[in-house]
Structure 1
Amino acid sequence: MDLGLNDKVVVVTGAAGTKGSIGETIVQALANEGAIPVIVCRNDRGYGYEKELQERGLDAIFVKTDLSDPAQIEKAVKIIGEKYGRIDALINNVGVNDGAGLDASIEDFMYSLKLNLVSFFAMTKYCLPYLIKAKGNILNIGSKVALTGQGATSGYAASKGGVLGLTREWAVDLIKHDIRSNAIIIAESWTPAYDNWIKTLDDGAEKLQSIVKKIPLENRMTTPQEIADSCLFTISDKSSHTTGQFIFVDGGYVHLDRSLLTDQL
């Protein structure tokens, strides 16, 4: 299916993670559709991704940015605006489940909010004039933690709850500009970061098995590619009348009947 993303300028935050991370996978999927990926992230790995894409003959840029700093975000968007003059879609993807729980300092909690929530607001605020010009749209990457809780991660949970609130608030605010605002909600996805976490556990194999057993559809984790595919469809004109929605790409993890999780089934 041609999603009509050719030459569309798509900004993706937190997209310079390791190969196979959600952000990096979204960027590669965009490139494969002929879009112009703009990587906004603090990791220098982004320079390598920019070079790889440009060597393929693609238009792509990396703008190194600490997304916990609104001043750097404002500067980054100015660079993007000066280069392209428009933004067709903004994918707020940055997120770190940093374990800032009730035992964390106030400073750590506030930092978690800055990175995982305030960055979404700041990116959207500064991108908005370019989104209005292009009649673009916004896609926020959310987490099931906002709805289910997790434990020991108050900052991340509060942030992701806020992300869902902003998604619908912006859908209301921006109707007058024909700008859509949606969220993709992820539960358990097999990323390099998840793999690294499992490897830190003494009982990693058993823990992983217990997790996948709780995912109703096929008892497996969602792949980053499946998430990327859903993202691209949602920002495309194929999803042109969808706004204010929470789209779950989770194999039924959050909503399906718990009876599906019995060993007998």
Structure 2
Amino acid sequence: MDLNLKDKVILVSGGAKGIGGAISRGLIEEGAIPVLIDPSEKEGKELVALAGGKALQIPIRLFSPEQAQEVVQTTIKKFGKIDGVVNNAGANDGVGLEHGTPEKFAQSIANNLFHYYHLVHYALPFLKKSKGALVNISSKTAVTGQGGTSGYVAAKGAQLALTREWAVELLPYQIRVNAILPAEVYTPMYESWINSFPNPEEKLQEINRKIPLGKRMTTPEEIASMAIFLLSDKASHITGQHLYVDGGYTHLDRSL
């Protein structure tokens, strides 16, 4: 299926590894030009090489509005346009209610939420010209809770709210805005978490047994496929949606 993404310039925060890396790789396969906003230089260089140079890595983390503005300016200087944004970067940092602090809670929200707004804010004039698309990567924890991670979950819930808010605000410009909610996705970050348990393989099997479809985790490539579809013309009448790519984990009875 031709998704008509050839030469489309797409910003991908956290675009070198994990879910973001899979999205960038899928975009390259479709002939698009991903801009990887990610300090992971080894993985970024590999993706740029895969693209035959038709990709760009900006090796920073988005901690300030100025950095988001710099990303947009650098992209426009090199490519002259922006056709889409994938907001993906973030980390489940374990800042909870009981064991966190107000200061850590505020910082967790800032780290996981603010750059979603900053990047779209500065890219918006160019997205208006291209009638581009936005994809926000959220999390099932925004609707199920998890325990012990108030900051991350608050940010993920806000991302879902912003998806609907932006979908409404950007209707006049025909800019579509959607969110994807992964559940259990085996990324390098997830692997590090699994390996923190005394018996990692046992813990992994325990989690897999709770995923209804196939008793396995979602792959980063399966999240990427949905993101790339939503960025494409094939999703031309889809906006304001929260899409679950999770093997039924969030909504189906896990006793299945």
Q: Tell me which interval the TM-score lies in, with the shorter structure as reference length.
A: over 0.9
Unaligned runs of 5+ in 2: none
| Structure 2 counterpart of 1:24 | 21
Which residue in 2 is equivalent to 1:42?
Answer: 39
Query: What per-residue deviation string (whole Å, max 9, x for no partner) do you get for residues 208-247 of structure 1?
Result: 1111111110111001111111111111000100000001
1:100 Cα offset (Å): 1.1
Paired residues for 1:81-96 under 5 Å:
81-96=76-91
TM-score w.r.t. the length of structure 2 is: 0.95
Q: Which amino acid aligns with 1:73?
A: A
Contact 1:137/1:180 (8 A) holds in 2: yes
3-state secondary structure, aligned to 2:122: helix
- Corresponding residue number in structure 2 for 1:15: 15
Q: Which residue in 2 is equivalent to 1:182? A: 178
1:74 equivalent in structure 2: 69
Q: What letter is aligned with 1:30?
A: L
Q: Distance in 2 between matches of 1:66 and 1:199?
A: 25
* Contact 1:217 1:252 (8 Å CA) reproduced: yes
Distance between the aligned counterparts of 1:51 and 1:15, measured in 2?
11
- Which shifted more, 214-223 or 192-201? 192-201
How big is the shift at 1:98? 0.7
Q: Is the 8 A contact 1:117 1:162 kept in 2?
A: yes
What RMSD, in angstroms, separates the aligned Cα atoms of the two structures? Answer: 1.4
Give the TM-score normalised by the residue count of structure 1: 0.92
1:129 aligns with: 125
- 3-state DSSP class of the match of 2:35? strand
Letter of the 2:186 partner, please give it.
Answer: W
Partner of 2:111: 115
Q: Is the 8 A contact 1:31 1:58 kept in 2?
A: no
Letter of the 2:154 counterpart: A
1:176-215 paired onto structure 2 within 5 Å:
176-215=172-211
The aligned amino acid for 1:41 is D
Measure how far apart 1:139 and its partner are.
Answer: 0.3
Counterpart residue type for residue 63 of structure 1 = I
Shift of residue 157 of structure 1? Answer: 0.2
Counterpart of 1:64? Answer: 59
Residue type of the partner of 1:99? G
TM-aligned CA deviation for residue 46 of structure 1:
5.7
Percent identity reads 49
Q: What is the alpha-carbon distance in structure 2 between the residues aligned to residue 109 and residue 130 of structure 1?
A: 33
Partner residue of 1:5?
Answer: 5
Structure 2: distance between partners of 1:171 and 1:194: 30
Partner of 1:156: 152
CA distance in 2, matches of 1:32, 1:6: 9
Distance in 2 (CA, whole Å) between partners of 1:45 and 1:142 is 26
Deviates more, 1:196-205 or 1:231-240: 196-205
The answer to whether the Cα contact below 8 Å between 1:74 and 1:126 also exists between their aligned partners in 2 is: yes
Output the CA distance in 1 between the equivalents of 2:77 and 2:148. 42
Count matched residues.
Answer: 255
- TM superposition shift of 1:206: 2.0
Which shows bigger deviation, 5-14 or 105-114? 105-114
Is this contact kept in 2: 1:41–1:64, CA < 8 A? yes
| Equivalent position amino acid for 1:219 in 2 | K
Distance 1:35 1:51 in 2: 12
Structure 1 residues 178-187 or 69-78, which shifts more? 69-78
* Structure 1 residue ranges (4+ consecutive) displaced by more than 4 angstroms after TM superposition: none
Residue identity in the other structure for 1:35 = A
Instruction: Find 1:256's aligned residue among 233, 252, 255.
Output: 252
Q: Secondary structure at the match of 1:143?
A: coil
Describe the SS at the equivalent of 2:138. strand
